[in-house]
């Protein structure tokens, strides 16, 4: 017990002085998540909001030839603005990317319309420009609507029911709910916490074997009259502490930054008050034991710090796999799934954020299942630490 405490205290002191550990534990993990999350949220808000609620600025050449069409477009939330003077200028402007889309109405438009000859309207656009795609689609959509309206009027004038023109009535029923839409975003959220947690203890886990060996401090350490199990337990516990610190910082960071993210506009109303932060910490922190022991285990097979970093980075990705699968398949939480570390934390956290009541059985299974796996991995680490080959 004394040895475990001594090793733990030494590792904590040592690593609090190590800029590399501090960077990853106190800066990288906690900040990376909120920043990336804010970025993704803002991007998707921008995407979904620009559909029709935002006015589209559309340059039109020859608007004097089609006053009714212009009035229709303006009533469809399209601002007609001044742009290139001629068709050639318009082609050049779209070609070099100054304009996304320009509409050209030729002189003959009014006459053709009156003569019942299909009147041409040119939509000048660059198909290769993906940014322009949405605006082009809106412009052509509005023009089709106008054409449809004219057609209906013409038929009515001739005493034909406009329904003749609509043999099919296609109705899309969208059953997606705001919370369902946010499932993938929430999956991201819980992964950020697990990521922050893991990066916090990464250096310590590597140091326990690969680092000590490379520095030459492992052999003298093993010459001491202490049990190797106690050495490894102390080191894993220290890694757990750094993971817990990193996790709590990350949660706190999200608590403050989520207020500044336009989540309501996406139909998400995440519940991330102080109590949820505390509950999330308690739900996630058992995973630290799994993370610390798994990373230590992986690092103990490697020959150098660099090699260990490469392999341990793979461990950083491992917890995403179950989360990803579940996010795509939209699996509902069940007691059986609570035995899977990282997945159970994810499911519980998503429920928590969605303001659903916590199933205490699920919590109990998640915590004990995760601790069990962590304990097993720790035992494996201790077994490996007893090997002769440890010194490499």
Partner 1 sequence: MIEVKGLYKSFGDIKAVQGITFAADNGRITGLLGPNGAGKSTTLRVLYTVLKPDSGSAIIDGIDVVNDSLAARRRIGTLPHGAGLYPHLTARENIAYYAKLYEMPAHTIDEAVQTVIDQLDINDFADRRTKGFSQGQKTKVSLARSLVHGPQNIILDEPSNGLDVMATRSLRALIRQLRDAGKCVLFSSHVMQEVAALCDEIVIIAEGRVAIQDSADGIRNATGCDDLEDAFVKAIGMVGNTA
384 scored as a contact of partner 1 (CB under 8 A): no
CB of 386 to partner 1, least distance (A): 11
Going by C-alpha positions, the residue among 124, 119, 77 that lies closest to residue 100 is 124
How many angstroms separate the most distant Cα atoms in the chain? Answer: 104
C-alpha angle 332-371-304 in degrees, rounded to nearest 5: 110
Residue 110 to residue 26: CA distance in whole angstroms: 68
Selected from 64, 74, 107, 219, the binder of partner 1 by CB under 8 A is: 219
Cβ closer to partner 1: 118 or 225?
Answer: 225
Contacts for 289 with CB less than 8 Å, ≥ 6 apart = 236, 240, 370, 371, 374, 375, 377, 378
Which part of the chain contacts partner 1 (CB under 8 A), choosing from 14-22, 36-44, 118-126, 323-331? Answer: 14-22
The radius of gyration computed from the CA coordinates of the chain, to the nearest angstrom, equals 31
Angle between helices 228-257 and 274-284 in degrees, nearest 10: 150
Cβ closer to partner 1: 146 or 385?
Answer: 385
Angle between helices 228-257 and 183-206 in degrees, nearest 10: 140
**Bridge partners, 123 (sequence order):** 103
Selected from 141, 144, 215, 306, the binder of partner 1 by CB under 8 A is: 215
Cβ closer to partner 1: 13 or 131?
Answer: 13
Going by C-alpha positions, the residue among 161, 57, 64, 142 that lies closest to residue 102 is 57
Selected from 173, 223, 329, 360, the binder of partner 1 by CB under 8 A is: 223
10 scored as a contact of partner 1 (CB under 8 A): yes
328 scored as a contact of partner 1 (CB under 8 A): no
Residues 177, 183: contact at Cβ < 8 Å?
Answer: no
216 scored as a contact of partner 1 (CB under 8 A): yes
Residues 196, 29: contact at Cβ < 8 Å?
Answer: yes
6 scored as a contact of partner 1 (CB under 8 A): yes
CB of 296 to partner 1, least distance (A): 18
CB of 252 to partner 1, least distance (A): 27
Selected from 227, 229, 281, 305, the binder of partner 1 by CB under 8 A is: 227
Selected from 8, 12, 15, 305, the binder of partner 1 by CB under 8 A is: 15
17 scored as a contact of partner 1 (CB under 8 A): yes
Selected from 52, 217, 271, 335, the binder of partner 1 by CB under 8 A is: 217
Q: What residues make contact with partner 1 under the rule CB under 8 A?
A: 2-3, 6-7, 10, 13-15, 17-18, 212, 215-217, 219-227, 388, 391
């Amino acid at each position: 017990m004394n040895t475990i405490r001594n090793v733990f205290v030494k590792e904590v002191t040592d690593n609090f002085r190590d800029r590399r550990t501090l960077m990853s534990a106190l800066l990288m993990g906690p900040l990376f998540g909120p920043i990336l999350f804010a970025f993704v949220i803002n991007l998707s808000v921008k995407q979904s909001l620009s559909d029709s609620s935002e006015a589209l600025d559309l340059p039109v050449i020859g608007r004097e030839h089609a006053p009714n069409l212009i009035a229709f477009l303006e009533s469809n939330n399209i601002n007609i603005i001044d742009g290139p003077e001629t068709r050639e200028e318009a082609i050049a402007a779209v070609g070099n990317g100054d304009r996304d889309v320009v509409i050209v109405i030729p002189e003959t438009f009014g006459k053709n319309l009156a003569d019942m000859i299909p009147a041409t309207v040119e939509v000048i656009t660059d198909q290769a420009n993906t940014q322009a795609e949405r605006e082009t689609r809106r412009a052509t959509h509005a023009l089709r609507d106008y054409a449809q309206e004219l057609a209906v009027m013409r038929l009515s004038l001739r005493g034909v029911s406009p329904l003749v023109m609509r043999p099919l009535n296609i109705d899309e029923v969208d059953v997606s709910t705001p919370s369902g839409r946010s499932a993938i975003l929430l999956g991201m959220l819980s992964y950020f916490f697990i990521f922050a947690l893991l990066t916090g203890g990464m250096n310590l886990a590597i140091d326990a074997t690969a680092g000590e060996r490379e520095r030459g401090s492992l052999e003298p350490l093993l010459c001491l009259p202490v049990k190797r199990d106690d050495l490894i337990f102390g080191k894993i516990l220290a890694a757990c502490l750094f993971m817990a610190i990193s996790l709590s910082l990350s949660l706190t960071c999200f608590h403050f930054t989520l207020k500044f993210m336009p989540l309501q506009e996406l139909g998400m109303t995440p519940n991330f008050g102080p109590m949820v932060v505390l509950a999330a910490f308690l739900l996630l922190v058992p995973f630290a034991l799994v993370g610390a022991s798994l990373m230590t285990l992986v690092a103990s097979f490697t020959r150098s710090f660099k090699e260990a970093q490469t392999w341990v980075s793979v461990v950083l990705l491992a917890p995403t796999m179950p989360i990803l699968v579940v996010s795509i398949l939209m699996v509902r939480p069940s007691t059986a799934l609570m035995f899977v570390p990282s997945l159970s934390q994810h499911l519980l956290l998503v429920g928590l954020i969605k303001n659903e009541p916590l199933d205490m059985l699920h919590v109990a299974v998640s915590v004990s299942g995760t601790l069990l796996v962590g304990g097993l991995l720790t035992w494996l680490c201790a077994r490996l630490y007893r090997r002769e080959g440890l010194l490499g």
